[in-house]
Amino acid sequence: MWRGLIRRLSTNSEQIAKVDVSYLRPRHRILAAGGVPPVEFDYERERAARRERFGKFGLASGVSVEELYPTVEEIEEEYAIGLFKELNEVKQEYLELKKKQDEAHKNRLAELEKNLKKYPAALEKYEASLVKQEKLKDEKEIALEKRIREIQEYFGYWMDPKDPRFEVMLEQKEAEEKKAVKLAKREEVQKKRYAEVVQ
Amino acid sequence: MSQALRSAKERALQIVEQASKIRIQDARDNLGARTSGRQVRKANNQMGHTQGALERAAKPPLGWIWGDFFRPWQRMFPGEKHFNADINVRREYIPLSLIELTRLIDLGWIDPSKPIDISTLCRTQKFQINPNIRQYGFDLTEEGADSFPYAIDIEVQYATQSAIAAVEKAGGRIRTSYYDVNALEAAIDPKKWFEKGNVVPQRKAPPKTLIGYYMDAKNRGYLADESDIENNRINLANIRGYKLPDHEMVTEPLKTVDQVFHGIPAGSVISLADKKLYSPTNEIHREYYSKQVADKQYS
Amino acid sequence: MFSRRLIIRAAQFSTSQSKKTEKLWENPWKHALHQQEQPRTSAKVLEVPIDWSYVERLMPIEIIPDVPKHETYPTPSGWTPPTEAAKTHSYYVRRRRDHMLPLYLERKRDLLNEKTLDFDYVELVVLRNVDGNIFDCENELRQFVEAQLDHPIATHVDELKGRIKIKGAPRKIIEQFLYSKGF
C-alpha cells in the first residue's frame, strides 16, 4: 500500500489519471462509464442476447433492427401451424354458437309452456291414482292392524309383527280360538241335552 | 367401488375412450413445465412438512391427511366432480375499486386528462399482475361509486354495471378490453419489454368463449359497435336515474382493436437509447402485425 | 414467447423426412446439421417519426409524485394535507413518504380456541412515526376513540420506536382522529 502511494506521488498527473484502483474488469469499466462493451461471450451471440443488447444500447450496440423481428420463415411456420384463428371467423363461430344456444333455450321454453297446459289434467290423474291406492291399502292394512292389535291385547304386551315369535304366538292364539269355539259348541250341545232331559 | 373391481387395462381404455381428440391447443406446456424459480433439491422441498416431523412432533389438527403419493386424497374421496374443475383454466382479474382510483388521481399518480389503461395503472408500481398465473388484468369494482368525480377515459378488462355507471355519470368513458398473455406482459412493464428488444406485439382478440363479453355493448366491450354503446350509455343513465353531461368530455380517439400502447402501432420496435421507432416495411411482416386474430382457447 | 418456442419445435417436427428410407439414428449428425442451415429472410425496417411523450408516459414512476393542487380539502377520496394546527400539540405524527397517514394493520395469532380448534387472531392498528410526547398522543387518541365507540380500547406505547398499537378500534376512526388534529 505504501509502495503504491509513493509510486503514485512520484508520477506526474497524466499517469495518475490512468491508474485505476477500482479493480473492475475492462467490461465493467466500460459499462460503468456508460459505454457499450464488446461482444465477448458465446451467449452474447445468441438471438435473445442480441435483442437485449439492442434494447439496452440502441443502435450503438451494432445489432441491426431487422434481427429483432421474426424471420419470414418463422412467420410462415406459424401460419402453417394455424394456432390462431382470424377474428372474423371467431366472431362468426361465436354468433352461431349463440344462435344455437338461444334456439335451444327457446325450444325448452316452448316445451315447458306446452307441458304447463297439460299439467292440471296430469295432476288430477295422479292425485286420483294416489287416492285409489290409499283405499286399497286401507282395507288390507286395517285387517292386518286389527289382527295385530288383537294378538297384542291377548298376550298383554307389544310385539313386533316381523318378529319370528309373532308367528308362533299367532298359531298359539288361533289354536286357542279353535279350542274356545269347540268348547262353546260342546256347551251348547250340552245345554240342549239338559233342556231335553228337563222337559 | 366399481373402479377398484375393474382391471387397470379396462380403466386405461375407458380413459382413452373419454379423452378428446388431440388438437393444436394440446401442444401447450404441461402444468408447471415452466417455473420462474430454481427447483430446490427434492429432499428439501417438503412444503414445510416432513414425514419425520410428523412422526415425532405435535400431530396436525384433526382432518389433516398425510399424503399418500400414489393414492392422493382427492382420489380416495372423490366428492364434487366439478368442484374447482376449472382452476387451471379460469382467469383472474385484479380488483381495482373506484375509491382506490380516486385516491391515485388525488395524489398525482395518475393523470386523469390522459387515457388510463393497464400500463398507466401498472406504472404507479402499486399493482402486481402476473400473466403466468393467469391474471388477465383489472376488474373495476364499484366501491366509491357514489362520489366518483373525475371524467376519465379508462380501459379495464372487466367492470361491474355500477362502476360503468359511476364513470359515465362523471362524464368519463369506459371500455372493457382483452389482453392476451403476450400483450399483457408488454403492457404491465413496457420499459422491461423495450429493454429486452422485443417487438411491440399485436393485441389478440379474445377466444371464442370470451368474445361474447367484449362484443356486448352492455359491458362497453371494445369489440361492440360504437352506436350500440352510445345507446346503452343513454339507457343505463335512464335506468339508474342520473343525467349524462351535455357535452362530450373525453374526445381522444380510442386505441385500435389490436393496439397495446397508445400512439405506438403493433409491430414496431422502440429504441429507448436513441428515442427512435422502427416499423417493418416488407409485405409479409406488415401483414403479420396487422392481421386481426383471436387468441387461443387455452393459453 | 411460448408461441415462438412452439414454432421452433414444430419446425423440427415438420422437417422429419418421410420420404427418405434412411433412419434418423443412422446418421444423426446429418440431421442435426441440416437444422442449422435454415434459410433466414429477415424483415426490412424503416424509421418512423414518433411523439416521444407516448413512450414517456409508459415508463414506471420512480419518484413519488407531488400532490397536485386541489381547490378544496378533503379531496374526493378523503385525503387532506397536514395543516398548521398539527404544530400546536406536544407531539407530532409525520406523514409517510407517499403523503399518506402512517397507519398499518397487523394481525397476530391469539390463543387456541378450544371449541373450534382454530387459532383466534387479534387485529391491531399500528400508528407509527410519532414524535414528541407520545403518551399525550396516546391519551388523546384513547379519549377520542372511546367517545366514538362507547367501549374501552387497549393501547400499547412503544416510546423508543414512536409507535402506538391499538386493539379494538377500526383504522377509520384513528384516521379521523389524526385528521382532526391536523396531521
Residues B224-233: tens digit of each pLDDT: 999 999 999 9
Alpha-carbon distance of B294 to B203, in angstroms, equals 9
Beta-carbon contacts of residue C182 (< 8 Å; ≥ 6 apart)? C82, C83, C84, C85, C86, C87, C88
What confidence tier does C24 reach under pLDDT thresholds 50, 70, 90? confident
Q: Residues of A with CB below 8 A from B269's CB?
A: 65, 68-69
Report if residue B35 sits inside a domain.
no
User: CATH no. for residue B138?
Assistant: 3.100.10.10
Give the mean model confidence (pLDDT) for residues B62-80.
Answer: 64
Place of cell 222337559: A199
Residue among A60, A63, A81 minimizing CB distance to B24 = A81
Across the interface, whether the CB atoms of A52 and B197 are under 8 A apart is answered: yes
pTM recorded for the entire structure? 0.73
Least trusted range by pLDDT, from A158-162, A173-177, B281-285: A158-162
Q: In terms of DSSP bridges, do strands C45-48 and C118-127 run parallel, antiparallel, or are they unpaired? A: unpaired
**Residue A25: is its pLDDT beyond 70?**
yes
Residue A2 has, within 13 A of its CA and on its CB side, a CA count of 0
Apex A147 CA angle, A142 and A153, nearest 5: 120
CB within 8 Å of B185: residues ≥ 6 apart: B131, B193, C1
Question: How far A79 CA sits from the closest chain C CA (Å)?
Answer: 10
H or E stretch including B160? none
CB atoms within 10 A of CB B70: 6
Task: Tell whether the model's pLDDT for residue B4 goes beyond 60.
Answer: no
pLDDT for B191 equals: 96
**Nearest-neighbour CA in chain A from B196: distance (Å):** 4
Q: What are the residue ranges of helices labelled H in B19-115?
A: 51-56, 73-76, 98-106
Q: How far is CA B213 from CA B59, B151, B270, B283, in A?
A: 49, 24, 33, 33
Question: A67 and C42: CB-CB below 8 Å?
Answer: yes
Q: Is B251 within a domain?
A: yes
In a domain, B274, yes or no: yes
pLDDT for res C9? 45
List, for residues A101-133, the tens digit of each pLDDT value.
999 999 999 999 999 999 999 999 999 988 877
Q: Tell me how far apart the alpha carbons of residues B267 and B290 are, in angstroms, rounded to a whole number.
A: 8
Q: Are B196 and A51 in contact (CB under 8 A)?
A: yes
Facing A87 at nearest CB: one of B274, B293, B296: B293
Flag whether pLDDT at B179 surpasses 90.
Answer: yes
Query: Chains meeting A at 3+ CB pairs closer than 8 A?
Result: B, C
Residue B224, domain member (yes or no): yes
Q: B69 in a domain, yes or no? A: no
Of B254, B266, B260, B258, the closest CA to residue B294 belongs to B258
Residue A14, pLDDT above cutoff 70: no
Instruction: Give me the residue spans of the domains in chain A.
Output: 2-81, 85-155, 159-199
DSSP label at residue A60: G
**Distance between CA atoms of residues B165 and B242, nearest Å:** 9
Question: Other CB atoms closer than 10 Å to residue B263's CB: what's the count?
Answer: 17
On whether residue B280 sits in a domain, the answer given is: yes
Helix axes A72-81, B283-290, angle to 10 degrees: 40
- The answer to whether residue B187 is domain-embedded is yes
Rounded average pLDDT over B261-278:
94
CA A184 centroid distance within chain = 75
pLDDT of residue B48: 63
**Cβ–Cβ of B107/C1 closer than 8 Å?**
no
With CA atoms as reference, report the closest residue to B208 among A100, A96, A90, A102: A90
Query: Phi and psi at residue C181, in whole multiples of 5°?
Result: -85, -5
What mean pLDDT comes out for the span B263-291?
A: 94
Instruction: Show the domain range for B161.
Output: 92-290
Contact C102, C128 (CB under 8 A): yes
According to DSSP, residue A187 is labeled H
Choose among B61, B191, B280: nearest Cβ to C45. B280
Contacts of A54 (CB under 8 A, 6+ apart): A61, A63, A65, A67, A68, B197, B271
Tell me if ipTM is over 0.90: no
Residues 6+ apart with CB under 8 A from B268: B199, B200, B277, B278, B279, C48
Give how far Cα A46 sits from Cα of A38, B273, C78, Å: 14, 21, 53
- Of C6, C60, C66, nearest to B27 by CB-CB distance is C6
* Distance in Å, alpha carbon of B54 to nearest chain A alpha carbon: 46
Residue B56 has pLDDT above 80, yes or no: no
List Cα–Cα distances, B75 to B67, B78, B81, B106, C115, in angstroms: 11, 5, 11, 53, 30
Length of chain C: 183
- Residues of chain C in contact with residue A71, where contact means CB-CB under 8 angstroms, are 40-43
Which CA distances in Å does C153 have to A6, B83, C15, C122, C177? 70, 43, 75, 13, 14
Contact: B208, A90; criterion CB under 8 Å: yes
CATH architecture for residues C85-180: 2-Layer Sandwich (3.30)
- What is the total count of domains within chain B? 1
CA dihedral A140, A141, A144, A149 (to 10 degrees): -150
Confidence of residue C8 (pLDDT cuts 50, 70, 90): very low
C142: which residues sit within 8 A by CB, 6+ positions away? C153, C155
Cα angle value B214/B219/B224 (rounded, 5°): 50
pLDDT score recorded for residue B89: 83
* pLDDT score of B282: 92
Identify which has the larger pLDDT, A168 or B217: B217
Q: What H or E segment, with its residue span, contains residue B23?
A: none
Over residues A72-90, mean pLDDT = 91
Minimal CA–CA distance to B138: which of B171, B103, B176, B111?
A: B176
Asked if pLDDT for residue C117 goes beyond 70, the answer is: yes
Say how many CB pairs under 8 Å bridge A and B.
90
